[in-house]
Amino acid sequence: MIVGAGAIGGVVGGYLAKAGVDVLFVDQAKDHVTAMQQAGLTIQALDGAFNVPVAAVVMDDFVAEQAPLANVDAVFLAVKAQHTEEAITQFKHRLTEKTYVVSMQNGLCENIIASHIGESRTVGAFVNLFADYQGPGVIEYGGVGSMYIGEMDGRMTPRLEALHDVLLHWGNVQMTDNIWGYLWSKLAYGAVLTATALVDATMADVIDPNDNRSLLFALASEVLAVADKLHIPCNGFDDWDPNLVYPVQGRDEEALNESWDRLVLRLRSYKKVKSGIWRDLAVRKRKTEVPSHLVPVIEEGERLGLDMTLTKAVVQMIRDLEDGQRQMSWDNIEQLKTLKAGERMV
């Protein structure tokens, strides 16, 4: 079962449904659910589009029923991070004791899910696909990236293997004993991609210029320093190598820039060229999940005595954009550079 059948839930569930897996799509967007019921789910992938008939239900109707679903093994939760608490609260009564929830999200949403249903019923996932909800019943799958799944305590379990086998219908999913390492690594990479949404330009165009790179390395390093202090080793993926970015001292700048060049090329090769955060601000005109991703990181960093200046500034700028107090502009990047320079002078 998929809860939140947007970009990620739609792509992952779409491939499973196409392979004949019994998938129920649950979403709060009535027009999307109606379109899926009437005309199936269309995935516009890089190698062509496909349409698959699917079972879909509106969240309100799904949670109005009281009986737990005995035939559901796994729930893939793919709502934006800020909707995690609301969604799990709404549907948890429909889970049996053996049903587990897989967080197909950015951020540390596994912690929120586990606080409701327990760690033993929560499975982590790191997802680096590039997809966008285009409109009712239609998802664009604009870039293939990695997916890792892992138990919160790092054990390799039969259910992880079963989940792995099912997700192979999507693509090259892998199991990990260090899901937190991927999630924190994605938080650092995500901070960089969040900064790209401060400008109305492609992700590649913002991260490529040499004079933006050191700012973005410094931003990512703030997040990676928190993970380091928490003794979480961060893993690389898809031309993002956190271990070249951090630690800052003794950094191999040449190797880092070469790896960054590869990342730029990869981002240029995707059909989806701007982040979901940019899209929420510029197209969908709604609040983003940035505070839900980065405020817990800032709080943890400050608790550990770390300087989170740039991360805090990025979150504030995104909030300003959400509130219409700021416009997307290259000047936002320049303002962050001033902060970085100020920080260096201290």
Ligand X SMILES: CC(C)(CO)C(=O)C(=O)O
Q: Which is nearer to ligand X, 33 or 197 (CB)?
A: 197
Q: Which is nearer to ligand NDP, 90 or 335 (CB)?
A: 90
131 binds ligand NDP, rule: CB under 6 A: yes
**Virtual torsion, Cα 328, 333, 338, 342, nearest 10 deg:** 110
9 binds ligand X, rule: CB under 6 A: no
289 binds ligand NDP, rule: CB under 6 A: yes
108 binds ligand NDP, rule: CB under 6 A: no
Minimum Å distance from CB 342 to ligand NDP?
30
* DSSP symbols for 179-233: HHHHHHHHHHHHHHHHHHTTSSS-HHHHH-SHHHHHHHHHHHHHHHHHHHHTT-P
Q: Which of 2, 6, 25, 318 binds ligand NDP (CB under 6 A)?
A: 6
Q: In angstroms, rounded to a whole number, what is the distance separating the alpha carbons of residues 182 and 191?
A: 14
Could you give phi then psi for residue 6, rounded to 5 degrees? Answer: -85, -135
**Minimal CB distance to ligand X: which residue?**
276
Interaction partner, residue 147 (ligand X, ligand NDP, none; CB < 5-8 Å by kind): none
Q: In angstroms, rounded to a whole number, what is the distance separating the alpha carbons of residues 317 and 333?
A: 10
Q: In angstroms, rounded to a whole number, what is the distance separating the alpha carbons of residues 62 and 94?
A: 9
Q: In angstroms, rounded to a whole number, what is the distance separating the alpha carbons of residues 102 and 124?
A: 6
Could you give phi then psi for residue 331, rounded to 5 degrees? Answer: -60, -30
Interaction partner, residue 133 (ligand NDP, ligand X, none; CB < 5-8 Å by kind): ligand NDP
Task: Check whether the bond before 247 is cis (ω within 30° of 0).
Answer: yes
Two structure tokens written together for 65: 């029923």
Q: Look at residues 26, 9, 37, 101 and name the one whose alpha carbon lies nearest to residue 64.
A: 26
Site mask for ligand X (CB under 6 A), range 156-195, x = bound: -------------------------------------x--
Minimum Å distance from CB 258 to ligand NDP?
25
103 binds ligand X, rule: CB under 6 A: no
Q: Which is nearer to ligand X, 181 or 276 (CB)?
A: 276
113 binds ligand NDP, rule: CB under 6 A: no
**Minimal CB distance to ligand NDP: which residue?**
6
Interaction partner, residue 193 (ligand X, ligand NDP, none; CB < 5-8 Å by kind): ligand X
Q: Which of 1, 17, 43, 127 binds ligand NDP (CB under 6 A)?
A: 127
Region from 26-34, 44-52, 162-170, 241-249 binding ligand NDP, contact rule CB under 6 A:
26-34
Question: What number of helices (H) and strands (E) belong to the chain?
Answer: 15, 12
Residue type present at position 192? V
Site mask for ligand X (CB under 6 A), range 107-146, x = bound: ---------------------x-x----------------
* DSSP symbols for 233-281: PPPPBTTB-HHHHSSSTT--HHHHHHHHHHHHHHHHHSS--S-HHHHHH
| Footprint on residues 142-181 left by ligand NDP (CB under 6 A) | none
Q: Which of 42, 44, 99, 105 binds ligand NDP (CB under 6 A)?
A: 105
Residues near ligand X (CB under 6 A) are 106, 128, 130, 193, 275-276
